[in-house]
Chains A and B, each alone.
Chain A
Amino acid sequence: MKNIIDENSRVIVQGITGNEGRFHAEAMLRYGTKIVAGVTPGKGGQQVQGVLVYNTVSEAVSNHGANTSIIFVPARFAQSAVLEAIEAGIKTVVVITELIPQKDAIEFIAKAEKRGTIIVGPNTPGVISPLKRVKVGIMPDHIFRAGIVGIASRSGTLTYEIAWHISNAGLGQSTCVGIGGDAIVGLDFIKLLEMFRDDEETKGVVLVGEVGGKAEELAAQYISETNYPKPVVAYIAGRLAPPEKRMGHAGAIVMGNVGTAKSKIDAFTNAGVTVADKPSDIAKLLNI
């Protein structure tokens, strides 16, 4: 899907010399992603899986025309890595790193907005476009099949579960985006709904939400107000989540009466969006 990742994505891996960066750089290359360079300060000149490593993002941009970055650097250095990518003119920054302080995320997301940079995450499995065979993420790609369903999700493995059912149903996926499990994330459900609406390859949309925050309620309101033209099915995880307890993800916490699964399910239902009870129901509820 254009404006996030597509066949024109020229990807750099920030933190490519670490274990995770190295492992996933190889997996992305195998899938077909154009990884044009790696960046690790102080490791310039090395090679990882045949990919040349630079000290700075701007060198990677000027030498290879990089426009997309995936970030594996540890939380305490993540903000500076993201800001470096924004300053160097990267268009899409996928932040895999988890446990980033919220103050840092608030700051780099605001700066990205001012520069028109898209931030995916933090704490995301990334983005995959099975249709274009591009993966800027850490998901097990064999589960995904080229197809017509767009998925936007706050989760990782649950997305794979749902994608697997959609693959089995023969629908496949156009683009899947993990928006991240943190309380503060960049690209959100509403912006993705807009992108999926304008994306000709996407015929239907699946939103995978969970307890915490109001992102699903706002998405429901958007769908209802804009008379959203494509079928949408939602799934909400955490119907039994007790209040004030973090359910694994930093963002998955019910505070007072804000963020309950019921509130989200009601919001979608009132907006005319079908909410699936089970991951396996989603494909047939899409009705496409």
Chain B
Amino acid sequence: MKLFEFEAKDILRKYGIATPKGNIANNPNEAEVIAKEIGKPVVLKSQVLVSGRGKSGGIVFANDATEAKKVASNLIGSTIKGNIVNSLLVEEKLNIVEQLYASIIIDRQARRYVILASTSGGVDIEEIALASPERIARHWVDPAVGFSRHTAELMTAQFSDISQDDAAKFASIIDTLYKVTIDYDAELVEINPLAKTKSGEFVAADARIIADDNAVFRHPEFEGKSSLRVDDTPREAEARRQKLSYVDLSGDIGIIGNGAGLVMATMDLVHVFGGRAANFLDIGGGTQADVIKRGLMLVMSKPEVKAVLVNILGGITRCDIVAQGIVQGLEESSVKKPIAVRMMGTNEKEGAAILRQAGVSIYPDMETAAAEVLKL
């Protein structure tokens, strides 16, 4: 679950990390009021969850409150990479003398949190890694040991381009970021840039936090929000509401199956035979007929879909239940598209009988089914 910048900054402030003076504006008038309170040049930052909003025109400076109102009326309601801007973070424009970088992410292969720090902030960490790898300090946290202020100090002591005093301040912020990561079950916490201002203060000019969806049970404040935090297409959002694991793709063959790997393999197989999948839909294991029905209706309602391929390998999933769901889905779909079904495993004979009675083509293996669906 991606948090908005203003939410990430709210959390950082709770932990004593400085953020620019400012507030959230939901309309141009609020932006004007906030800018007036700040009383100096401001920056208006679109609160969207996509990266690269700056390059897409989503971050704009304004010299005074009147200009801020004008900028806000342009930004609010506009679209950045498909995401509508509903609110702006209006903040004082910082007087930045240096830009640093700090982040904590999960290294999947090492199965550890890795802490990255650099004195060359303001650009993507990948760019820093390419341009000046010697200016990145890395530390993999041993879960049995944890992370301490002392280790953070060892990291920042590697930088020859900052003073001892600044290295200590930087270390304190890195140490705090680790606490945030653990307390909020974060997959990513990033401050970029971490600005050193003219007055010598360290301020989180931008901040990102991604919280682990699986840990929402420990964070009641995120309850109910997690499903709204992703860059879904309208159909993906509808699927998420129905608790279906669905992804839109650009082709014209609807794909439904049980198990993520099998569904991906089915998509790939359609591609091998010269077709293109219109979607990914995993109905999961041990599924009830109603889930198949709703899944099939969702896929059939996509205008681009010409035909649907269902691939079920029954284990805990019963083929007869799936077949019932398919028949119900076909009956209730307002738009009916041709369908090919492959079913194998638990109760496959019973399932086949149900489908045959409903006139649905069934195939014993996924390759025949994938080849046939392209002819429908």
Contact A240 B108 (CB under 8 A): no
Residue of A106, A235, A246, A247 near B112 (CB, 8 A) is: A106
Contacts of B169 in A (CB 8 A): none
What's the least CB distance linking A94 to chain B, in Å?
Answer: 16
Q: Is B6 an interface residue (CB 8 A)?
A: no
Contact A99 B106 (CB under 8 A): no
Q: Binary interface profile of B, 248-268, with partner A (CB < 8 Å = 1, else 0)?
A: 010100000111111111011
Interface residue tally for chain B (C-beta within 8 Å): 52
Q: Is B229 an interface residue (CB 8 A)?
A: no
Contacts of A277 in B (CB 8 A): 268, 272
Q: Which of B218, B245, B264, B277 has the most CB of A within 10 A?
A: B264
Q: Is A173 an interface residue (CB 8 A)?
A: no
Contacts of B108 in A (CB 8 A): 183-184, 213-215, 251
Binds B, one of A7-15, A36-44, A59-67, A148-156: A148-156
Contacts of A143 in B (CB 8 A): 345
From 52 to 81 in chain B, residues with beta carbon under 8 angstroms from any chain A beta carbon are none
Q: Is B38 an interface residue (CB 8 A)?
A: no
Q: Given A102-B106, A161-B262, is A237 in contact with B366 using a C-beta cutoff of 8 Å?
A: no
> CA of A188 to CA of B109 in the docked complex: distance in angstroms?
9
Q: Is A208 an interface residue (CB 8 A)?
A: yes
Contact B268 A214 (CB under 8 A): no
Residue of B nearest to A109 (CB): B111
Contacts of A242 in B (CB 8 A): 247, 249
Contact A248 B315 (CB under 8 A): no
Contacts of A285 in B (CB 8 A): none
Interface residue tally for chain A (C-beta within 8 Å): 61
Contact B261 A106 (CB under 8 A): no
Q: Is B280 an interface residue (CB 8 A)?
A: yes
Contact B261 A240 (CB under 8 A): no
Binding site for A on B (CB under 8 A): 106, 108-109, 111-113, 126, 142-144, 182, 185, 187, 212, 214-215, 217-218, 231, 245, 247, 249, 251, 257-265, 267-269, 271-272, 276-277, 280, 282, 285, 313-316, 344-346, 365-367
- Given A157-B313, A245-B247, 14 other A-B residues pairs in contact with their CB atoms under 8 A: A139-B315, A140-B316, A157-B259, A157-B261, A183-B108, A184-B106, A211-B264, A215-B109, A240-B276, A244-B231, A247-B263, A248-B259, A250-B214, A252-B264
Pick the 10 closest A-B CB pairs, nearest first. Answer: A155-B261, A248-B260, A157-B259, A158-B261, A140-B315, A237-B264, A101-B215, A110-B143, A157-B262, A248-B282
Binding site for B on A (CB under 8 A): 23, 75-76, 99-103, 105-107, 109-111, 114, 138-140, 143, 153-161, 164, 181, 183-184, 188, 208, 210-211, 213-215, 218, 235, 237-242, 244-252, 256, 277-280
